[in-house]
Amino acid sequence: MIQDTAASKRSTQNLEEVDMMHKAKFVGLAAGLAAAVAFGTGSALAQDKKGAPAKKAAAAGGGEQFFPVLSYRTGAYAPNGIPFANGFLDYLKLVNARDGGINGVRITFEECETGYATDRGVECYERLKGKGPTGATLFHPLSTGITFAVTDKSFVDKIPIVTFGYGRADSVDGTVFGWNFPLGGTYWDAADMLVQHVGKISGGVDKLKGKKIALVYHDSPYGKEPIALLEERSRMHGYQLLLLPVTHPGVEQKATWLQIRQQRPDYVFLWGWGVMNSTSIKEAVATGYPRNQMYGVWWSGAEPDVTPAGDGAKGYNALTFLAPAGQGQVHKDIIKYVHDKGDATGKKEGFGEVLYNRGMVGAMMSVEAVRRAQIRHGRKPLTGEQVRWGLENLAIDQAAIKRLGFEGFMTPISTSCVDHRGDSEAGIHTWDGKQWVVQKGVRLVADQAIIRPMIRASAEKYAGEKKIVRRDCAKESQQ
């Protein structure tokens, strides 16, 4: 049942206290297990949560860990879906070829084409959830609509739903959304970061009063997610919010940009995907709207979004988190162990671009969740329920990032039973006509004092509607 206001405040305070204790406990564990967690090698002895040697973790490994891969290589969203899927799969192949799997457990996978359609995504979920010796490890829906559709199913199936940088913003609350993991940030975080950024440009968020911010958004659960946060910030700072939905697939936007020409907003936030993004930039050129006053969410800031517009895309900005463009040690490893062996998922075109890199990061965090869970459950194929423990105890610090070859492509992240998002920050990169250039000195962190109450209220509403009893994270941590 939904708690009353006083009880809700006590509940939140207790959850935050548990979360702080939980994180402190497992950050300490991560430091002691750094080498073992990163590659399953070295002299560090794996321990269980009570500090005793984890005998199962010392087992020889073997067997197969099945990863379902929901992708879209056809249709209006293919330009963005293809590089992400290629990066995701190439990293899984790298772990098999270079490391012999996850501590000796080989990775198997199967792609399922969703076309970014919710009904097809649910069909893929149902078809793949029972595959492999222990069932699906976890799912990356790669669609907020699919995420909403399978969230209810996850409580019964006990399979984690990983939505890094997308999905339900309220699913940060692991005490209600026990199987959703919006790792690294949500759309409420992203929207808040953008408001802060344009506020700073304007001389402070208080200077936004009387200004206009237009949200050009994909008319779907994805595009609608940031609205609640932008409306809250609008009430706080007095800017006028213009909501301009764009119908799937987003190739017809002339009416939208006619409104922008008439209303003359000070800033445009773009929440698009696939061909919608490049179409928006082309329409901005046609209507004379300055690209340097446009800011895309992190899913509207990749090469396929700007290259179709040619020189007209110069000056366009977007949030960047979890893998900007570029290449590092992990790319060298993929060339050596995957490309040079003729096992690459795609051609080298797009290798090292934003979405390819983000696919790699998504695969890496998934692999590390399994590796983490092996500390508790042993070096063997794990069920989705067992992998959840790994996702709730991620502790990928800077040293681990460097060892894994992802230095410069992500920031540290740690999660808990209470906090399924972990750490979240982003920067801004700008298209110079040939490449993305990350703006120096811009580090954006969402204001959780604003977002936490929104998460709490939305999660409690969901729990009340679905009759979900909150998890007792303190009790679970002692089991």
Residue 215 has pLDDT above 60, yes or no: yes
ω into 79 cis (within 30 of 0): no
Place 60 in a pLDDT band, splitting at 50, 70 and 90.
low
Residue 69 lies in a domain: yes
Among 272, 287, 320, residue at a domain's last position? 320
- Cα separation, 70 vs 92, in Å, equals 14
Neighbours of 199 (CB within 10 A): 19
What is the residue range of 399's domain?
Answer: 5-185+324-415+449-477
Q: Are residues 330 and 461 in the same domain?
A: yes
Band of pLDDT at residue 18, cut at 50, 70 and 90:
very low
- Per DSSP, helices labelled H in 33-143 are 34-39, 78-99, 118-128
Check whether residue 162 and residue 37 sit in a common domain: yes
Q: Is the distance from CB of 413 to CB of 186 less than 8 angstroms? A: no
pLDDT score at 59: 45
| Residues 462, 347 within the same domain | yes
Q: Which of 279, 295, 320 is at the close of a domain?
A: 320
Pairing of strands 427-431, 240-246: unpaired
- Tell whether the torsion through CA atoms of 177, 181, 185 and 191 is positive or negative: negative
**Domain final position from 320, 341, 356:** 320
325-376: pLDDT as tens digits: 999 999 999 999 999 999 999 887 789 999 999 999 999 999 999 999 999 9
* % the chain with pLDDT above 70: 87
pLDDT tens-place string over residues 271-294 = 999 999 999 999 999 999 999 999
Place of tokens 């946060």: 229
Q: What is the pLDDT of residues 127-170, one digit of tens each?
A: 999 999 999 999 999 999 999 999 999 999 999 999 999 999 99
Are 42 and 135 part of one and the same domain?
yes
> How many angstroms separate the Cα of 219 from the Cα of each of 122, 177, 243, 276, 444?
20, 25, 10, 11, 26
Q: Note whether 369 and 362 are within 8 A (CB).
A: no
Query: How high is the pLDDT of residue 23?
Result: 47
Would 437 be classed as within a structural domain? Answer: no
**Burial degree of 137 (CB within 10 A; 0-12, 13-18, 19+):** buried
Distance CA 223, CA 241 (A): 15
Reduced 3-state DSSP string for 332-355: HHHHHHHHCCCCCCCCCCCCCCHH
Q: Tens digit of pLDDT for each residue in 64-121? A: 999 999 999 999 999 999 999 999 999 999 999 999 999 999 999 999 999 999 999 9
Q: Give me the numbers of helices (H) and strands (E) for the chain, helices first please.
A: 17, 13
CA separation for the pair 224, 220 (Å, rounded): 6
* pLDDT class of 14 with cuts at 50, 70, 90: very low
The answer to whether residue 359 is domain-embedded is yes
